[in-house]
Each structure stands twice: as C-alpha cells, then as structure tokens.
Chains A and B, each alone.
Chain A
C-alpha cells in the first residue's frame, strides 16, 4: 500500500528565511506527487504537482519541489517566506494506474512564519 510521511508536524521560521518541508512516500509502483496548502477556514489549494518530466517543479507563491526517485522524496522549498505563508501544508500521492485518482495525504506540516 502507498503511504506518505511528513516527519515535521510544525516548522517555525522567521520571515524572509528559507524553508524546506519534507515529504517521503512509500510505493512499489510509480506515483504522481502533489503539495497542497490549507489556510485557516479555507479549502485545500494545489501548490504544485509532479507527473513526469523535469524533477524540479515550480508552483504558485514562489514554492518549488524536487522529485527524488532514489530517495522517494518530494520536499517543498521556498527561498524566502512571508508571514502570509503561515498555513498547513500537505503532501499527497496518487497512482497513475488507479483510475480513481484519489489522493493519499500525509499528516501535514504546519508552517509558522514569525516576524
């Protein structure tokens, strides 16, 4: 079965500092990878996705992620965070072979940006 691990439940960081949110997945088959952000009282919003091609994926709001097949990782990075980036971030996978394309989520990482 597939699973997603986000080891850091909370990441505090100062404004304008770089940040990396870690995501590792477990799967015996190839997967598609996603990062979603959840702001308070709002629905999840897609930040970026990796389906194929270049392993470096750029998303919205200055975020990027790198797919590393050997490490089974898809870490999210931003070179300089803003207060407004404070939110919950979820890594997710789906199976290309599964016609449902249902998302399997990690437990989330709360990014707390301090002034």
Chain B
C-alpha cells in the first residue's frame, strides 16, 4: 500500500529561525513529489514539485530536497516569518493509470514572534 509519513507532527519555532520538515514515502512507481502549504481555513497551495530526476527545488525561502533512493524528502524554511504558520503537506504520485496521489497527514508549523 502506498504511504506517506511526515514528521514532526507539529513544530513551534521563533520568528527568524530556520526549520526542516521531513517526508518519507513508499509510493511506487514514483512519479513526482509535491509540498503544499495550507493556511488555516483555506485549501492547500502548491509550494514545490519535484520529479525523479530533481533532487532540489526552491521557491523563495522554501527549499525542498528529494532522495529517490532512500524515498525521503525534506522541506527547509529559511528565516521563518509569522506568515509561515500553516500546515505543510507532502504529496506523492505514482506513474501510470489514474492520477490518485497519496497525501501525508501534514506538519503543523507555528511561528512565534
């Protein structure tokens, strides 16, 4: 069964600090991995998308890495801001057939001033 596990479940950091969120997956065959940001009361919004051949992708202060061999990804947030407080969801898709991605349960990040 395809699975996506995220850690930590929740994280509290001070404004200006860096943090790293983790994602491990068992989806096969692998197609792509996405990180979404979900603000409270809103739908998820895509931050980064990586395919098998990509091992890093940046979007401003967000940098995602992918190790397809160990089936791990991380999302690094640099110089956190209060607006980074949100849930971050890792989503992995397999290739072929109907497009049914596998969602992680998310990491809830709180940034304190």
Q: Report if A and B associate in a common complex.
A: no
Interface residues of A (CB under 8 A from B): none
Interface residues of B (CB under 8 A from A): none
